[in-house]
Amino acid sequence: MKIISMHCRALALVLLWACAHAASAGPRERILINSGWRFTMGDPPGTSDALRYDVRPAVRASEDGKAADAVPQAAQQMQAGQAPVLKPWILPSGNAFVRDRARRHRRPAQEPRLDVPYLSPAYDDSAWTRVDLPHDWAIAGPFLEKGPYGGVGRLPSWGIGWYRKRLDIPASDAGRSIFLDVDGAMSYAAVWLNGRLVGGWPYGYNSWRLDLTPYIVPGGENTLAIRLDNPPESSRWYPGGGIYRNVWLTKTAAVHVAHWGTHVRTPQVGKALAQVALEVALDNDSAASAVVEVATSIFVLDERGGRVGGAVASITAESLRLAAGGSAVVTGTATVANPRLWGPPPTQRPHRYVAVTSVRRGGVEIDSYETRFGIRQVRMDPDQGMLINGERITLKGVNNHHDLGALGAAFHVRAAERQLEMLAEMGANALRMSHNPPAPELLELTDRMGIVVIDEVFDVWERKKTALDTHLIFPDWHEQDLRAMVRRDRNHPSIVIWSIGNEVGEQYTGEEGAAIGRKLAAIVREEDSARPTMTAMNYARAHMPLPSTVDLVSVNYQGAGIRSNPGRFPEFRARFPDKMIFSSESASALSSRGEYQFPVTGALTAPVRPDAGGDWTTHQVSAYELYASDFGTSADRAWAAQDQYPYVAGEFVWSGWDYLGEPTPFYDARSSYSGIIDLAGFRKDRFYLYQARWRPDLPLAHILPHWTWPGREGKFTPVHVFTSGDEAELFINGKSQGRKKRAEYEYRLRWDLVKYEPGEVRVVAYRQGRQWATSSVRTTGDATGLALAPDRSRIAADGADLSFVTLRVTDKHGNTVPMAKNIVKFSIEGPGEIVATDNGDPTSFVPFPSPERPALNGLCLAIVRSKPGRKGTITVRAESPALQGANVTLQAH
């Protein structure tokens, strides 16, 4: 092993009381502290000015609803005033991520002068709302039906919120280092313990740590208070509000593995053996030097992440002396024989390992730290695209925002897992985190499921997209935020690319903007040199400075051409023949599930216009999947652009799921229209268009629209078929409408001159002349009943697991009535609760917690959560006037 000494860290005198007990401190504990918080909105009267992080520009008018690709503007210059702000006390919280020690921030010697009753441990918060984390304070609504709030989902996510919790810190913890680990809090977090300001973190999407040790009273009363200040006009989509991810209390010995203190690399990968290189960063929080021994063993993980068998490799133990208050990095290598490689299904499997690092002092283990990782070889080739373990993997990706539909920004593992399962069913193998670091549990899912990831850090740099977005903190915090993301996430095998920005305004500022790009890319390489960098570009042309600052060419919509502009793939190829090129955002097609509108465009793609793809009365977009945002295109045209140039490595579609906010083109709505899957998790027709392309070996023939059109008898009602076959024949009530063969750069089959008559539409698809798949749709009768089906009938009785129960409105034969909008009421019995309902309608303002809402085109959803520690049968019931009700049972175990 090699030991790299680092400069000693300053140690506060208040830590001296812990030093006498350091030798007896035990191994690490990581304790989830999500339950039993108290919450309230707003500051005590007259205190808000003293609690500000910093002075902000005045917002005189909302720009909500402006074009999604509007040009970002220069930041408003602010004069430093005399008003007190908390920024000098918050900035030092990020010092561990400032590489140049001379630029680290010194905490003021005096505490801020605050007379805020919420900070006092004696304050009586019993009248506050009791909440468990993760918590999104805005998702319950009510929706804001009037005003310029469509961009943020018409939900009141802005404001000031307070959380308080009493911590149980036994006297036996004296001598240990105790940290608060927050996975995500929206936003401008400030943390007090026992009335003293500990620190905070402004960026709402990053994970962060604060050292509570100097403020803890072991064996005494310890009260944590967290203030969040989520500004208005700070986001282009729904950000949520509150502590919306997990919060942990981490306890370690004074000498321990540092925060996110390991880095695994696999510099050599082969079938016979793989070399694993490990760096371990150690901290000594005591006032005395310490001699420790560091060793690591490597184990195989099973599919669910459990350790299997004995160690398959080890890194030899090494002794080192850590100076008082100092840090060091230990490096070592191990060889894994016959490695089980990580790779994306279906042709590979996402095998994983865990490195268990043990720190011993005087023969006693004082810390144990686990690092999960995968062994794989990834190469980005300008001609072949992405190769994983030598196999070309075409990027079949989607972009997703961070909200989970009716559950809001509050992270739920099962909800995220359901999203990924449905995307994988469609054939997706890649996910771009748009446009921020995700919850850590989401990356655990992508690792386990074999989904490759673009991890993205910023939506803006110094130029603003909204008046109070993160351009305000970028100058002070860009290094800390970027290093924190990379350091937290770099051991995840699913991550293959680091993205330093999305459609940033610096595309427009030439060399000035490129200088920022170079700085950010250099930071990434210092933290992780194994993965390439990108920045998603919707404006920058190949000859401009910004594209040269990153390793890959990633374009948003430019491949197919934006508006009247031609496709730019050849231009970038000519300028950067040694860089892999792909679409970081493609398509941005728009639709409302089941809302078919006539007439239907005969073009390959068309923008949404009144009575031409869009209904300006209902605010719905046609489901024929031919219409797109003004800057986007249909999937058909996007693919035609990609397929002309075989060097294009693939795409990330905008977007995989509908999301709250950004409801182009109808900003009076609550949620987007761009998803392949709607907000409730129901598949739009577009799902099958992508499935036909991304899973070409799956026999598939999908017909649209439905075939229940009273009043359209004898009128032209185009029928389109999405198929993985190469030709198909269509039948109306047994009569052939002709057999069609897909032409080059054609991705659907169209019978546009079909006239509607009730009955059956049937298609027979062929592949290379042989029958491949069949499908049919029939005219349904009137609605007579309801049917319920859960995605899972067994859930864990842990108070977190979820079952998503789909309701269908049916006719007497059990067929889904495709235009049914009956009002449905859900109820529940047993050890569970209905936490939200939805129908996927972007125009619906029924609050998500409501147990009653209309179906949208025959479908509705209830989300059921178990109650902690309570096992048994859960019965979900649904009823609707004049219809036969339904019930379904679940088991909490």
Q: Active-site residue numbers?
A: 503, 585
State how far the Cα of 87 lies from the Cα of 190, in Å rounded to an integer: 10
Collect all residues with Cβ–Cβ distance below 8 Å to 25 and sequence separation of at least 6.
175, 176, 252, 253, 254, 366
Which tokens go with 488? Answer: 């937290």
Which tokens go with 460? Answer: 């803006």
State how far the Cα of 866 lies from the Cα of 830, in Å rounded to an integer: 9
User: Radius of gyration of the chain from Cα atoms?
Assistant: 28
Collect all residues with Cβ–Cβ distance below 8 Å to 763 and sequence separation of at least 6.
701, 703, 721, 723, 728, 729, 730, 731, 774, 775, 776
State how far the Cα of 244 lies from the Cα of 710, in Å rounded to an integer: 46
CA atoms within 13 A on the CB side of 440: 21
- 625 phi-psi bin (left φ>0, alpha ψ -120 to 50, beta other): left
850-888 core/surface letters (b: 16 or more CB in 10 A; e: else):
beebbbbbbbbbbbbbbbeeeeeebebbbbbeebeebeb
- Kindly list the distances between the CA atom of residue 839 and the CA atoms of 58, 284, 376, 409, 878, in Å, as whole numbers in the listed order: 38, 54, 41, 18, 14
Helix (H) or strand (E) segment spanning residue 489: helix 474-489
Residue 789: Cβ within 10 Å count: 12
State how far the Cα of 819 lies from the Cα of 604, in Å rounded to an integer: 26
Beta bridge partners, 774, equal 764
Residue with tokens 């502290």: 33
Instruction: Tell me how far apart the 2 most distant CA atoms of the chain are, in Å.
Output: 90
Give 275: exposed, middle or buried? Use CB within 10 Å, 0-12, 13-18, 19+: middle
Q: Please say whether the beta carbons of 274 and 375 come within 8 A.
A: yes
Q: Please say whether the beta carbons of 131 and 39 come within 8 A.
A: yes
Within 92-195, strands assigned E span 129-131, 159-167, 177-182, 189-193
Pairing outcome for strands 852-854 and 872-879:
unpaired
Helix (H) or strand (E) segment spanning residue 297: strand 290-301
- 215 phi-psi bin (left φ>0, alpha ψ -120 to 50, beta other): alpha
Collect all residues with Cβ–Cβ distance below 8 Å to 562 and sequence separation of at least 6.
69, 538, 631
Q: What is the dihedral of CA 449, 453, 459, 462, to 10 degrees?
A: 140
Q: Output DSSP code: residue 186.
A: B
CA atoms within 13 A on the CB side of 562: 17
State how far the Cα of 512 lies from the Cα of 471, in Å rounded to an integer: 16
SS3 (DSSP) at 449: helix
Alpha carbon 92 to chain centroid, angstroms: 28
Helix axes 474-489, 440-449, angle to 10 degrees: 40
Q: Output DSSP code: residue 661.
A: S
How many residues in total does the chain contain? 893
Edge-to-edge strands of the sheet including 785-790? 785-790, 802-810, 859-866, 832-838
